A and B are shown apart, each in its own frame.
Chain A
Amino acid sequence: MNWYNIVFYLFALIVLVSAAGVVFSRKMMYAAFSLLFTFFGVAGLYVLLNADFIAVTQIMVYIGGILILIIFGVMLTSKFTDLEIKSGTTGTVQYVLAGISTIIVAAALIIMYLNVDWVQNPVPELESTVKPIGILLMTKYFLAFQVAAILLLLAFIGAAKIARRK
């Protein structure tokens, strides 16, 4: 096991444990803070996949922006500290059905994992992904780039509309 694998498993562990923390915590605030480590771990996995630009974007936008927005969203709700998160429907029938469907999905995934002939290509050594992304955004994906601007405009106007209802 080389150090690449050790780092990969470390980040994978961070992602899995913190994602479990998001799902299982009873307090919304704890779930939101647990999500921070999930985003961070995913950024680490992006680095290991040679996607440096996406990794930095992940930290800048998701940790620096989206997570703050989620925490603000939690703080905007009333009585967020006392709120106990509970699932709506519980009962033997639901548990049995959920258990069976989980086992089917898990079995399908395990069978697929064991049977697929995984190809391991050597990763091409890239200098940095920032330059190719810049060129492609300005030439081949010009339209997608402008559509992204319109999407951001919609988000901005929508937020202004919701927050300022006078």
Chain B
Amino acid sequence: MIETYVPLIVMLVVGFGVGFLFMLLSEWLGARRTTDGKQTTYESGMIPRGTARDRFSIKFYMVAMSFIVFDIEVVFMYPWAVQLGTLGMTAFWTMFVFVLILFVGYFYEYKKGGFEWD
């Protein structure tokens, strides 16, 4: 079974290798003519303002926390989905209760206005 991971390792090695190679190549071959425009932070065409090293809003934390909760929910769903055919309706209702419990949190969050940005 472990042999099936060999392509993954090859991909990792090639990925790291190509990444490092291109970095080194651009370092060796690239011309160094710096202008003010080239030295500016790339902000998708916007002119950058202020500092990036600032405190972030707590709202980002809420988004990350919601993401983790639903991420773990999906992790539990995956082995369930693979076996649903053999386990039948009992497994369906088990997962229904699982999702229902998490839905309470979702509803609480919704009522508290957690999904509104401002």
Q: Does A152 contact B (CB under 8 A)?
A: yes
Interface size class of A (residues with CB under 8 A): 35 or more
A60, B71: Cβ atoms under 8 Å?
yes
A4, B2: Cβ atoms under 8 Å?
yes
Stretch of A16-24, A63-71, A110-118 lying at the B interface: A63-71
Q: What is the chain A residue whose CB lies nearest that of B74?
A: A60
Q: Does A48 contact B (CB under 8 A)?
A: yes
Interface string of B71-85 (1 = CB under 8 A from A): 111111011111100
Q: Does B56 contact A (CB under 8 A)?
A: yes
Interface string of A115-133 (1 = CB under 8 A from B): 0000000000111101101
Q: Which residues of B contact A52 (CB under 8 A)?
A: 1
Stretch of A89-97, A98-106, A134-142 lying at the B interface: A134-142
Q: Which residues of A contact B94 (CB under 8 A)?
A: 138, 142, 145-146
8 Å CB contact of B82 from A57, A131, A149, A160: A131
Q: Does B23 contact A (CB under 8 A)?
A: no
Question: A126 CB to closest chain B CB, in angstroms?
Answer: 6
Q: Does A107 contact B (CB under 8 A)?
A: no
Majority-rule SS of B interface residues: helix
Q: What is the chain A residue whose CB lies nearest that of B68?
A: A65
Which residues of B47-78 are within 8 A (CB) of A? 53, 55-56, 58-62, 64-69, 71-76, 78
Q: Which residues of B contact A142 (CB under 8 A)?
A: 94
Interface size class of B (residues with CB under 8 A): 35 or more
Q: Which residues of A contact B108 (CB under 8 A)?
A: 156-157, 160
Q: Which residues of B contact A (CB under 8 A)?
A: 1-2, 5, 9, 53, 55-56, 58-62, 64-69, 71-76, 78-83, 86-87, 90-91, 94, 97-98, 101-102, 104-106, 108-109, 112-114
Q: Which residues of A contact B (CB under 8 A)?
A: 4, 7, 47-48, 50, 52-53, 57, 60-61, 64-66, 68-69, 72-73, 75-78, 80-81, 125-128, 130-131, 133-135, 137-139, 142, 145-146, 148-150, 152-153, 155-157, 159-160, 162-164
29 examples of A-B residue contacts, CB within 8 angstroms: A47-B2, A50-B1, A60-B71, A60-B75, A61-B68, A61-B71, A65-B72, A66-B68, A69-B68, A72-B56, A76-B55, A80-B55, A125-B1, A134-B82, A134-B87, A137-B76, A145-B76, A145-B98, A146-B97, A152-B72, A152-B102, A152-B105, A156-B65, A156-B106, A156-B108, A157-B109, A159-B65, A160-B108, A163-B61
